[in-house]
Chain A
Amino acid sequence: MTNWSVILNIAKTHLITKMKSTVTASLGVTFGIGAYITLVSFMTGLNEMLDDLVLNQTPHIHLYSEIEPTLNQPVSRYQAYEDAFNIVHSVKPKLSQTKIHNALPILNYLNTDENVLGATPELRAQIFYLSGSLELGGNLVGVDIMESVRLYNMRDYIVEGTPEALKNTENGILLGAGLANKMSLSIGDRVQISTVKGDIFPLKIVGIYQSGIAEIDDIQSFANLNTVQRILGEPQNYITDINIKLYNLQSAPTMARSLEKQFAVKATDINEANAQFETGSNIRNLITYAVSITLLIVAGFGIYNILNMLIYEKMKDIAILRATGFSGKDVQLVFMSQAMIIGAVGGIFGLIIGYGLSRLIDNIAFETQALPTITTYPINYNLGYYLIGITFALVSTFIAGYLPSNKAKHIDPVRIIRGT
């Protein structure tokens, strides 16, 4: 039977009378955990920001109609030449439409699928932006703007104006930031665009779009889907791309393959498109953990040292406790609980300091052209890291406390009392 209140009381008294050592040992843990929390919050915040930059804008599955040559040329189907070696020169792509066949039923089907967070139609049109006598080549993308806001954080990239303004303006356009610069245009101005066929349409600029990737911002603009359909002179079912966002990113590859088969369209998934991002994140995480663990090991050695010293100082106390009926295990528990108290107190202060530093970094201005939505350094306040932090503090102090306290357990009280 262990009498915890007595043991904790002894441990507490030891810690309070040795305030200096206690504080030093706790500070070791505090700095270790604090640094870990700060580092991991900052690093993962940065990771998340970089991932979001690309992944948030990217649909999990992208459906489109690919222009490609027929795999089986007619000659190979002709039974008379079945055993012959056929060579077809200058194969041309099959004449097919760039729109997705039966796009609206597919959209309806996808939007009722329970794995799908949302599927949005898109119409990509090649156009020219007219500025005086100058023609700038580019894209006009017809989208369901409110769905894009919901699924792809479109609002973050509209640096001037609002998505609602586009929704409510029949002939509105969200002009790419690079284009707006080149043509010296801003909200409220009109821009003339011309289709490949030569028709000219005036559009009203209701917002400026900046993705942070210059190549896109220099050519791409957004408009409502039906506006673009009208400009191209195409009906309501003319859709070139369908973007799908899933609840679970991991299921994207299998779903892409099955959609390809089901609807005879081309489907690419996010993993194909962005495999390299995973690698970068993993390596940054690895560095973060390597540094944090090093810090905590150093703190652990500090605790080990201080407890060792404390046990030498408290030899007589140990002997008295043993003589008055405390078992070796009780003595061990006294020193173990000291280590754990140091670990818990130091760890909790570490979390607080880590949180404070994170807040501080979070408020430092960080502005870059490439990231229009970011104004301060990114921080990830994930409760999980705080749990890992306190767990690590307790585990490392447990190990650091176990060895000296085990020694205290095996001290022979008779030898100390007799002074031999």
Chain B
Amino acid sequence: MEGDNFVLETKNINKYFRKPVDFHVLKDISISIKKGEFASIMGKSGSGKSTLLYILSTMDRDYTGALYLNNELVTGKSQKELSRIRNKHIGFVFQFHYLLSEFSVLENVMLPAKKLAEKSYIQIKKDALEKLEMLHIGHLAKQRASRISGGEKQRVAIARALINNPTILMGDEPTGNLDSHNSENVFSIFKQLKEEVGLSLLVVTHDEDFAKRTDRIIQMEDGRIVKQ
């Protein structure tokens, strides 16, 4: 294994869409993310960047090639093992915040940690409140997730992604649905996480300003990496 400090590494990942027509979406993707690196993936619509991200997140298992997380091969593992890996090592932030709307903010944040069940309920609650405080939304803890604003929702989603202290945080257009103020906010949170916690981040984005301020831009075009 070359380079012990890669948190994420892919080798020759290929993916085809079968429907509605055969389509080669990802062509020989080989990338690697170092520990503590803040990388962004850019590219036009349809360039395959989101598809790649979902493969990296282990949710999409339908591909060829090899994916390593913390230098461990995860390709070919069972759905159950992958769920566990996602739970423990990967935090995910979506474009549309995707909170469980019927649960309180606090419950949303606590849920992945409860699933992991490595800590006691009281400890989980304390951690969750800590994460919320860190993102300056501690006062919303008791609110229903459907009752808070879009920017706040995205911060709750980030808190949820961080609850199990993951190895890497992935974002699929995390600022795509936010105004510039909130986008800025999310960016500075990411930056802060990188600098203070040493978290690795991989973000898919359209937003060029956002991308430029990351450590590295991975540029995609027609299913290939054109620059990294």
Interface size class of B (residues with CB under 8 A): 20 to 34
| Contact B114 A324, beta carbon cutoff 8 Å | no
Residue of A nearest to B81 (CB): A327
**Residues in chain A near residue B226, CB distance under 8 A:** none
| Contact B83 A5, beta carbon cutoff 8 Å | no
Indicate if B79 sits at the interface (CB-CB under 8 A).
yes
| Residues 105-140 (chain B) with a chain A CB within 8 angstroms | 111-112, 114-117
**Which single member of A3, A13, A322, A328 contacts B117 (CB below 8 Å)?**
A3
Given contacts A13-B103, A14-B102, A417-B98, contact A324 B59 (CB under 8 A): no
| Residues 173-194 (chain A) with a chain B CB within 8 angstroms | none
A65–B57 Cα distance when bound, in Å, is 93
**CB 8 Å contact bits of A392-416 with B (1 = contact, 0 = none):** 0000000000000000000001100
**Residues in chain B near residue A367, CB distance under 8 A:** none
Given contacts A13-B103, A414-B54, contact A323 B59 (CB under 8 A): yes
A5–B117 Cα distance when bound, in Å, is 10
Given contacts A413-B59, A414-B59, A417-B172, contact A316 B79 (CB under 8 A): no
Query: By the criterion of a CB under 8 Å from any partner CB, how many residues of chain A are at the interface?
Result: 27
| Contact B54 A325, beta carbon cutoff 8 Å | no
| Contact A317 B100, beta carbon cutoff 8 Å | yes
Residue of A nearest to B83 (CB): A327
Indicate if A326 sits at the interface (CB-CB under 8 A).
yes
Indicate if B224 sits at the interface (CB-CB under 8 A).
no
Question: Which stretch (B24-32, B85-93, B178-186, B195-203) binds chain A?
Answer: B85-93
Q: Which of B99, B103, B160, B164 has the most chain A CB atoms closer than 10 A to its own CB?
A: B103
A325–B59 Cα distance when bound, in Å, is 9
**Residues in chain B near residue A6, CB distance under 8 A:** 111, 114-115, 117
Indicate if A17 sits at the interface (CB-CB under 8 A).
yes
Indicate if B18 sits at the interface (CB-CB under 8 A).
no
| Contact B50 A324, beta carbon cutoff 8 Å | no
Residue of B nearest to A327 (CB): B83
| Contact B54 A326, beta carbon cutoff 8 Å | no
Residue of B nearest to A17 (CB): B102
**Residues in chain A near residue B117, CB distance under 8 A:** 1, 3, 6
Indicate if A63 sits at the interface (CB-CB under 8 A).
no
Chain A: minimal CB distance from B204 (Å): 11
Chain A: minimal CB distance from B84 (Å): 7
**Residues in chain A near residue B111, CB distance under 8 A:** 6, 10, 321, 324
**Which single member of A9, A10, A17, A322 contacts B83 (CB below 8 Å)?**
A322
Chain B: minimal CB distance from A293 (Å): 36
| Contact A326 B80, beta carbon cutoff 8 Å | no
**Residues in chain A near residue B160, CB distance under 8 A:** 324
**CB 8 Å contact bits of A314-355 with B (1 = contact, 0 = none):** 001101111111111110000000000000000000000000
**Which single member of B79, B80, B94, B114 contacts A3 (CB below 8 Å)?**
B114
**Residues in chain A near residue B84, CB distance under 8 A:** 325, 327
Chain A: minimal CB distance from B136 (Å): 22
Indicate if B215 sits at the interface (CB-CB under 8 A).
no
Indicate if B60 sits at the interface (CB-CB under 8 A).
yes
Residue of A nearest to B164 (CB): A325
Given contacts A3-B115, A413-B59, A414-B60, contact A326 B83 (CB under 8 A): yes
Residue of A nearest to B84 (CB): A325
Residue of A nearest to B121 (CB): A5
| Contact A323 B92, beta carbon cutoff 8 Å | yes
A323–B57 Cα distance when bound, in Å, is 8
A3–B84 Cα distance when bound, in Å, is 12
Chain A: minimal CB distance from B125 (Å): 13
**Residues in chain B near residue A322, CB distance under 8 A:** 59, 83
Residue of B nearest to A18 (CB): B102
| Residues 144-201 (chain B) with a chain A CB within 8 angstroms | 160, 164, 172
Chain A: minimal CB distance from B121 (Å): 9
**Residues in chain B near residue A14, CB distance under 8 A:** 102
Chain A: minimal CB distance from B141 (Å): 16
**Which single member of A317, A326, A417, A418 contacts B115 (CB below 8 Å)?**
A326
**Residues in chain A near residue B116, CB distance under 8 A:** 325
| Contact A324 B80, beta carbon cutoff 8 Å | no
| Contact A418 B102, beta carbon cutoff 8 Å | no
Chain A: minimal CB distance from B76 (Å): 16
A416–B99 Cα distance when bound, in Å, is 14
**Residues in chain B near residue A5, CB distance under 8 A:** 114
| Contact B94 A417, beta carbon cutoff 8 Å | yes
**Residues in chain B near residue A317, CB distance under 8 A:** 100
| Contact B92 A324, beta carbon cutoff 8 Å | yes
Which 3 pairs between the two chains have the least Cβ-Cβ distance?
Answer: A325-B87, A327-B83, A17-B102
A-contacting residues of B (Cβ < 8 Å)? 50, 54, 57, 59-60, 79-80, 83-84, 86-88, 92, 94, 98-100, 102-103, 111-112, 114-117, 160, 164, 172
B-contacting residues of A (Cβ < 8 Å)? 1, 3, 5-6, 9-10, 13-14, 17, 316-317, 319-330, 413-414, 417-418
Instruction: List 15 interface pairs A-B (beta carbons < 8 Å), by A numbering.
Output: A3-B114, A3-B115, A10-B111, A14-B102, A17-B102, A320-B98, A321-B100, A322-B83, A323-B86, A324-B111, A325-B86, A325-B112, A325-B164, A414-B60, A417-B98
